[in-house]
Structure 1
Amino acid sequence: MATPAAAWPVSWGGDAVGACDDRSGPYQRRVEEYLGLPEDGEQSAEDCKAIQAMQVKNDMTQQSGYADIATYRAAVYTWAQQNPEELSDCPDGSRIVVCIDMNRQLLWVENRGEIIFGPVPARSGMPGYPTRSGWHKIFKREEEFWSSLYDAPMPFSQFFDGGQALHGSYRPIFEDPGSHGCVNLRYDDAKALWSGLRIGDAVYVWGRRTGG
Structure 2
Amino acid sequence: MGDIRRRSAVALGITGLVAPLTIALGAAPAQAAGSCTTQAGPYQKQVEKFLGRPVDGRQSAADCTAIRAFQNKHGITPNIGYAGPVTWGVMDLMNKQKAVGNNPNRDGKCPTNKGRIACVNLTLQLSWIQDGSRLVYGPVPVRTGRDKYETRTGLKKIYWRHKDHVSSVYHVPMPYSQFFDGGQAFHSVGVSMWNPPGSHGCVNMTKTAAKKYWSLLRVNDDVFVYGRKPGT
Q: Following the alignment from structure 2 to structure 1, what is the Cα–Cα distance between the partners of residues 176 and 115?
A: 22
**Does the C-alpha gap of structure 1 residues 44 and 205 become closer, same or farther in structure 2, counting only changes over 3 Å?**
closer
Show the counterpart of 1:188. 208
Show the counterpart of 1:4. none
Q: Following the alignment from structure 1 to structure 2, what is the Cα–Cα distance between the partners of residues 105 and 166?
A: 13
Counterpart of 1:203, as a letter, is V
Q: Following the alignment from structure 1 to structure 2, what is the Cα–Cα distance between the partners of residues 188 and 109?
A: 14
Matched, 1:95 2:98: no
Residues 75, 196 of structure 2: 8 Å contact kept: no
Show the counterpart of 2:100. 80
**Does the C-alpha gap of structure 1 residues 97 and 60 become closer, same or farther in structure 2, counting only changes over 3 Å?**
same
Q: Following the alignment from structure 2 to structure 1, what is the Cα–Cα distance between the partners of residues 161 and 101?
A: 27
Matched, 1:197 2:217: yes
**Does the C-alpha gap of structure 1 residues 78 and 136 become closer, same or farther in structure 2, counting only changes over 3 Å?**
same
Segments of 5+ residues of structure 2 without an aligned counterpart are 1-38, 54-65
Question: How far did 1:173 drift?
Answer: 0.8
Matched, 1:108 2:108: no
Show the counterpart of 2:161. 141
Counterpart of 2:101, as a letter, is Q
Show the counterpart of 1:17. none
SS in 1 for 2:52: helix
Match of 2:176 among 141, 156, 164: 156
SS in 2 for 1:77: helix
Q: Following the alignment from structure 2 to structure 1, what is the Cα–Cα distance between the partners of residues 134 and 160?
A: 25
The alignment of Structure 1 onto Structure 2 pairs a total of residues equal to 176
Percent of pairs with identical residues:
35
Greater share of strand residues, 1 or 2?
A: 1
Q: Following the alignment from structure 1 to structure 2, what is the Cα–Cα distance between the partners of residues 65 and 91?
A: 41
Q: Following the alignment from structure 1 to structure 2, what is the Cα–Cα distance between the partners of residues 104 and 192?
A: 20
**Does the C-alpha gap of structure 1 residues 146 and 22 become closer, same or farther in structure 2, counting only changes over 3 Å?**
same
Residues 157, 181 of structure 2: 8 Å contact kept: yes
Question: How far did 1:73 drift?
Answer: 2.4
**Does the C-alpha gap of structure 1 residues 164 and 23 become closer, same or farther in structure 2, counting only changes over 3 Å?**
same
Q: Following the alignment from structure 2 to structure 1, what is the Cα–Cα distance between the partners of residues 48 and 164?
A: 45
Counterpart of 2:46, as a letter, is Q
SS in 1 for 2:46: coil
Question: How far did 1:43 drift?
Answer: 3.5
Matched, 1:43 2:46: yes
Residues 47, 91 of structure 2: 8 Å contact kept: no
Counterpart of 1:134, as a letter, is G
Larger relative contact order (Cα-Cα within 8 Å, sequence gap ≥ 6):
2
Q: Following the alignment from structure 2 to structure 1, what is the Cα–Cα distance between the partners of residues 182 and 201?
A: 10
SS in 2 for 1:157: strand
Residues 69, 211 of structure 1: 8 Å contact kept: no
Q: Following the alignment from structure 2 to structure 1, what is the Cα–Cα distance between the partners of residues 142 and 206?
A: 8
Question: How far did 1:115 drift?
Answer: 1.2
TM-score calculated relative to the size of structure 1: 0.70
Question: How far did 1:184 drift?
Answer: 0.7
Counterpart of 1:169, as a letter, is V
Q: Following the alignment from structure 1 to structure 2, what is the Cα–Cα distance between the partners of residues 46 and 161?
A: 40
Counterpart of 1:129, as a letter, is Y
Match of 1:179 among 199, 206, 209: 199
Q: Following the alignment from structure 1 to structure 2, what is the Cα–Cα distance between the partners of residues 134 and 159?
A: 14
